[in-house]
Amino acid sequence: MASSDSANVSEAVPGMPASPCAMVIFGAAGDLTKRKLMPAIYNLAKSRLLPEQFAIVGVSIEPFSTDDFRKKMTDDIREFSIEGIDMSRWDWFAQRLYYLSGDFQDPVLYKKLGETLAQVEKEQGTQGNCLFYLATSPVFFPIVVEQLGAAKLTRQEGPKWKRVVIEKPFGHDLASAVALNHALGHVLEEKQIYRIDHYLGKETVQNLLAFRFANGIFEPVWNRRYVDHVQVTVAEELGVELRGGYYETAGALRDMVPNHIFQLITLSAMEPPISFEADAVHDEQTKILRAIQPLSPERVLDQAVRGQYGEGAMDGKHVPAYRSEPHVAPDSQTPTYVAMALHIDNWRWAGVPFYLRTGKRMTERITQVVIRFRRPPLVLFRNTSVEQIPPNELVINIQPNEGISLSFEAKIPGPVVRLGAVNMDFQYSDYFGTTPSTGYETLLYDCMLGDPTLFQRADMVEAGWAVVQPILDVWKALPPRDFPNYSAGTWGPQQADELLHREGREWRDPTRAGGPHHATGESAGRSGERA
């Protein structure tokens, strides 16, 4: 994808090593750095996509020396790398690691950081380009950016670029998102800000654009005339583990819907952009978010479902209820599950519901987008044994097995007219092999190229929170009375099934391969399905 950042455009060519730069990681001693960032950067180094003139400066409160940091990262990469380590390549990488210890609120730290970056530029030839990655608690985002600005470390001069990457959450409600955007915008230009969502690093998410707009057979039927409804499922097997303290302040709605799920919905529903330039893509995504009909308080009660997992059995083992997890209140009202029906008020999607659900401690870890098409008329088959024709489905699997499946009906051989589901399945690994990936490689590479297409713009963030805010308000005013309301190891509370049943529809079982009747291979009809 083309870059919208004019700095060093001639050097920022996709598929080639990025331009020389230093990467500063705030929170370098934390979990995200060792589990995701370092393995991803190492994978870029192995793929020869990092420039030779490259360095990493780790910044954290822990009192490490640079040698301590290099040793720690070497130990961590051995544990968390997706495949074996090429030690010769790692040695090249490790010699480009530096470390600074200090308090993120202390101006002295940033003075030292400026001196270290000058040293790194001299030793590694980074040419003054710098990527600041905030792998910290969100409370530090405005603090670090303000300090970087005060120390003049974000100033762009001539061809030198400075960019700042922040991890979700981008605020915890609409007001805080607006405040965060204001704080960032006070120091940085919008083109310097990269709001990262690792879901967009997955190949199938990026392939949504290619699938829709590079294939003439799908886009003509991608509208209300042919599509009955769309389902988005983001299910996690894990509970909150040791993240109870954070999750108590977030919950499933804040944690997943304004970012991960809305990104999937906008890429699935957006109009064709005039190009793949970042602003052109973001403009169309923002239009979708603004077209989502806001839920009134009455509709929140009818169209949104919240849940919290209780104890249950998974893989033959007992797992505790959410309220029994570490750092969780014994009477917690925090939802670990959300389902809702949304409607996009535009010409393409009027009358087509978009159902979404996400939750923890569900049956299986899986993320998918399901496009369910309208049924064909049955009149042609009125004198046959066919009682009902299942709808065609297009299933876009994002994790854990990335691929696309299309189901359609075919006649079963024999003298009697019977229909059976046929599936055309595409798996990325079958066609293109597997590439070691944490989900961050593409995103970090794009940051270095100056391509913000796969990142959220300020107005997108605020438009997403504007959709979620009415639900937050109603749920805050009316605490749930039935928590916990689904068992660990299930697909969520019964109310989520009723949400679709009221409209004659049902959730697709995400574990089922292929189309609606893959299990039986025959179209015998299905109760509760909308005609």
**Residue 290 identity:** R
Distance CA 101, CA 60 (A): 5
The closest of 413, 450, 437, 255 to 338, measured between CA atoms, is: 255
Burial class (CB in 10 A: 0-12, 13-18, 19+), 408: middle
309-310 and 486-487 as β-strands: parallel, antiparallel, unpaired? parallel
CA distances from 80 to 36, 74, 94, 212 (A): 8, 10, 16, 35
Tell me the three-class secondary structure of 396-459, residue by residue: EEEECCCEEEEEEEEECCCCCCCEEEEEEEEEHHHHHCCCCCCCCHHHHHHHHHCCCCCCECHH
Q: Does residue 501 have an active-site annotation?
A: no
Strand, helix or coil for residue 23: strand
> Which residue of the set 172, 198, 229, 260 is catalytic?
260
Distance CA 44, CA 94 (A): 14
Strand, helix or coil for residue 134: strand
**Residue 53 identity:** Q
Residue 416 tokens read as 């009697």
304-307 and 366-373 as β-strands: parallel, antiparallel, unpaired? unpaired
- Tokens 């949504």 found at: 208
Strand partners, 425: 405
The H-assigned helical ranges of 227-372 are 244-256, 262-269, 278-291, 297-303
- Tokens 């934390």 found at: 30
Q: How many other CB atoms are there within 10 angstroms of residue 241's CB atom?
A: 10
Strand, helix or coil for residue 189: coil
Distance CA 223, CA 32 (A): 39
Length of the chain in residues, anyone?
531
**Residue 383 identity:** N
CB 162 within 8 A of CB 155: yes
CB 504 within 8 A of CB 531: yes
Cα 517 to its chain centre, rounded Å, is: 30
The closest of 494, 298, 517, 511 to 392, measured between CA atoms, is: 517
For residue 216, what are the contacts with CB-CB under 8 A and spacing of at least 6?
none
Active-site amino acid positions: 260
